[in-house]
Structure 1
Amino acid sequence: MNSEADPKPVSVGTSAETGRLLRLATYASVATAGLLILAKLVAWLLTGSVSVLASLVDSTMDAAASLVNLLAVHWSLLPPDAEHRFGHGKAQALAALVQATFIAGSAGFLALEAIDRLFHPQPVVEIGIGVAVIGFAILLTLALLAFQHHVIRRTGSPAIRADALHYATDLATNSATLLALGLASLGWSGFDPLFGLAIGAYILYSAAHIGREAIQMLMDHELPEEQREHIRTLALRVPMVRGLHGLRTRQSGQSLIIQLHLELDDQLPLLHAHRIADDVEARIRTVYPDSDIIIHQDPASLGREDSEP
């Protein structure tokens, strides 16, 4: 008996619970974005602040991206069919890539507006209303982020992770806007377009981060080595497993695709070898329930002729 403690399982739910959480997260995101757009539109019309406009544009992009997310998550939860044997999980990566494009576009718009305001300065008015609206936006965004991070811990969804990064950006945007309005109330309105430019740069950085993660998934990037080693450990702890090679992994939505070769005794009956492979699959699935696992049994005497690079 192995004296080492088994690795702690990740926090995951059943497929039904995963679907429910993902849908709730997308509905909450769309509703929050819609409410923030209305509030910030009123604040911008009353104040004329470029920083408030920056926050408004950011929320508008969030709303568009959240709608794309809602559709993508709905599609990704459809079961496998004759034309999509591995399911539709990559729809979430495609949604994240679309979101990155939206965010990059909003950054460009903000930069142009802020540069124009630098050359054509205008006073910021009705600052109190702007501060109240942005404060409300910060509280609402914090509540949404708390729920989204709960869903990410339970599902590992890349689409919800990208959406949460949107709203983390929105939180930074709102905080910078609040500071800009505070400076404007002290008579330093010239800082308003500068904060708009800074917010635009941060939004562009966020777009690059989201886009990179989405491309990694679409290109079937391997899981982190720590997670791969965890899968190896789970398999090797099953009795009569002599070794393991050819481990291949990738993420498809919130599901994992896992392929591996088990090294077993040469004279082991096929039925017994099959049962050992079933035990390995069951052990891996207790930690990664939403996974598609393919196991091939090899005689241990053949070594690792087809081992992974």
Structure 2
Amino acid sequence: MNESEPQPAARLTAAETGNLLKLATYASVATALVLILAKLVAWLMTGSVSVLASLVDSAMDAGASLINLFAVRWSLMPPDAEHRFGHGKAEALAALGQATFIAGSALFLGLQALDRLIHPQPVVEIGVGLFVIGFAMAATLGLLAIQHYVIRRTSSTAIRADALHYGTDLATNGATLLALTLASAGWSGFDPLLGLAIGVYILYSAAQIGREAIQLLMDHELPEPQRRHITELARAVPMVRGVHDLRTRQSGQSLIIQLHLELDDQLPLLAAHRIADETEARIREHYPNSDILIHQDPVDMYEQRRGRDQQSSE
């Protein structure tokens, strides 16, 4: 396999995956609650719009992280009679909920910044604000380290969305730190301007998260390199003459893969079944968390049907 192809995913049991996802969600909620308390004290003492921006962002983080916590627990539930493909889309729903929270925080922040531009107020107790924002950045970096570890092991959409908006927190806190530093030098007018800039950036992040969640809910195909890799794996199985009608999507931790194998017309059913099983095993070796459905087609019959379809389309 060349370097451009996707590498095999590390195998995790369902219990290991669940524990990692729960670790990330619990750490997210705990971090958000601690930062809300710290930033609330800092805002009450400084009156800074930039600190308020960071506080509002953390409040939205807490709400989004709670949604994530419940959605991830739901997504880990096994398939049942009413949800035969499992509950994986709960992760995408959580990401969409996060995008809504984040967009709301950006709009609220924009209104506060505009009000402060119209009615300027001095920033006080700047040292407290600087300390709290520095603490917030350190805590966020620790959480992101946990989240990115979990993402590497599980590829969770919900955790990726959570990590994206905590990544914007670093930018938010960095801009807040700059605003407070400028205010300490007597340039407090930059405080609402940076608060407004933070709001625009948060809104942009919300759009990114929402777009990815909608793509997953709409059963968007896997990226083309992965689709090509799956096709190559199937074609490499001995006696497979061709592959067509590959359909893929992601649902939480599971990949849904459906494809048709082209086999010799006179191949016994038992042999065709064995080839399909071998194809499924090869694909699952590289994509362990996958639900695979394979249909076998006689190659000559498929070629005849494809020829008729081409003629009818001309």
State TM-score, norm by structure 1.
0.96
Q: Counterpart of 2:300? A: 301
**Could you say what secondary structure the match of 1:246 adopts?**
strand
Q: Counterpart of 2:91? A: 92
Q: Is 1:200 matched up with 2:221?
A: no
Q: Counterpart of 2:49? A: 50
Distance (Å, rounded) in 1 between the aligned partners of 2:282 and 2:130: 54
2:6–2:226 contact (8 Å) kept in structure 1: no
Shift of 1:115: 0.4
Closer/same/farther in 2, CA of residues 251 and 133 from structure 1, 3 Å limit: same
Shift of 1:8: 2.7
1:158–1:253 contact (8 Å) kept in structure 2: yes
1:127–1:185 contact (8 Å) kept in structure 2: yes
Shift of 1:13: 2.2
Q: Counterpart of 1:112? A: 111
Cα-to-partner distance string for 1:182-234 (whole Å, 9 max, x where unaligned): 00000000000000000000000011110100000000000110010010111
Tell me whether 50-59 or 235-244 shows the greater mean CA deviation.
235-244
2:75–2:91 contact (8 Å) kept in structure 1: yes
1:15–1:290 contact (8 Å) kept in structure 2: no
Q: Counterpart of 1:149? A: 148
2:6–2:225 contact (8 Å) kept in structure 1: no
Closer/same/farther in 2, CA of residues 155 and 103 from structure 1, 3 Å limit: same
Shift of 1:287: 1.1
Aligned length: 305
**Could you say what secondary structure the match of 1:289 adopts?**
coil
Distance (Å, rounded) in 2 between the aligned partners of 1:111 and 1:98: 20
Matched to 2:138, the amino acid is: L
Distance (Å, rounded) in 2 between the aligned partners of 1:26 and 1:4: 35
1:48–1:125 contact (8 Å) kept in structure 2: yes
1:49–1:124 contact (8 Å) kept in structure 2: yes
**Structure 2 alignment gaps of length 5 or more:** 310-314
Shift of 1:15: 2.0
1:247-258 maps to which residues of 2 (within 5 A)? 247-258=246-257
Cα-to-partner distance string for 1:159-192 (whole Å, 9 max, x where unaligned): 0011001100111100000000000000000000
Q: Counterpart of 1:236? A: 235
Q: Counterpart of 1:133? A: 132
Q: Counterpart of 1:190? A: 189
Distance (Å, rounded) in 1 between the aligned partners of 2:153 and 2:120: 48
Shift of 1:288: 1.0
Q: Counterpart of 2:67? A: 68
Closer/same/farther in 2, CA of residues 89 and 4 from structure 1, 3 Å limit: closer
Distance (Å, rounded) in 2 between the aligned partners of 1:41 and 1:164: 22
Please tell me the root mean square deviation across aligned C-alpha atoms, in Å: 1.5
1:264–1:300 contact (8 Å) kept in structure 2: yes
Distance (Å, rounded) in 2 between the aligned partners of 1:49 and 1:277: 64
Distance (Å, rounded) in 2 between the aligned partners of 1:185 and 1:12: 52
Q: Is 1:221 matched up with 2:228?
A: no
Shift of 1:4: 7.3
State TM-score, norm by structure 2.
0.94
Cα-to-partner distance string for 1:227-276 (whole Å, 9 max, x where unaligned): 10010111111111111001000010121000000011111110111011
Q: Counterpart of 2:164? A: 165
Shift of 1:10: 2.7
Shift of 1:7: 5.8
Shift of 1:150: 1.0
Distance (Å, rounded) in 1 between the aligned partners of 2:301 and 2:186: 79
1:12–1:153 contact (8 Å) kept in structure 2: no
Matched to 2:114, the amino acid is: I
Q: Counterpart of 2:282? A: 283
